[in-house]
Amino acid sequence: MKIKLTSILVDDQAKALHFYTGVLGFVKKTEIPMGEHKWLTVVSSEEQNGVELVLEPMGFPPAKIYQKALYEAGIPLTAFHVDDVTKEYERLDKAGVVFSMKPTRMGGAMLAVFDDTCGNHIQIFQV
């Protein structure tokens, strides 16, 4: 069994695509129109045949409740691995990304948490 796709809830697919590609540096992999929304995925520029992140529109009302509850509690919806959290924090901070947690050591990991502008807190970490 392998993970090939994982989803992240977004309140606006166009805004999410801009943020995840233009700010974070992911690469658009798939964009298939499906009525009001799209099947829209991005991948790491370093692993373009790796796991795809689906920018999932919130067409299911309970998803909005779930996303809002996580956001208000400050809980990240997902986490992305980086080689150097401090360096990535500095790059994203200069790009105007808002962090709710600056680089912090927790046990054997270093992590930081930012707002993806699409309704989610996202954690970056290094081990």
In one letter, which amino acid is 67? Answer: Q
- 37-43 sheet: strands from edge to edge: 5-10, 52-57, 37-43, 27-34
* 106-122: pLDDT as tens digits: 999 999 999 999 999 99
Instruction: Give the per-residue pLDDT at 59.
Output: 84
Q: Tell me which residue range forms the domain holding 100.
A: 5-126
Q: Please, which residues have CB within 8 angstroms of residue 24's CB and are 6 or more apart in sequence?
A: 80, 92
* Mean pLDDT over the full length of the chain: 96
CATH number of the domain residue 65 falls in: 3.10.180.10
- Which of residues 59 and 48 earns the better pLDDT score? 48
* 78-101: pLDDT as tens digits: 999 999 999 999 999 999 999 999
How many domains is the chain built from?
1
Q: Are 8 and 54 in contact (CB under 8 A)?
A: yes
Q: How far is CA 58 from CA 25, 54, 124, in A?
A: 23, 12, 23
If pLDDT is split at 50, 70 and 90, which confidence band does 9 have?
A: very high
Instruction: Give the per-residue pLDDT at 85.
Output: 98
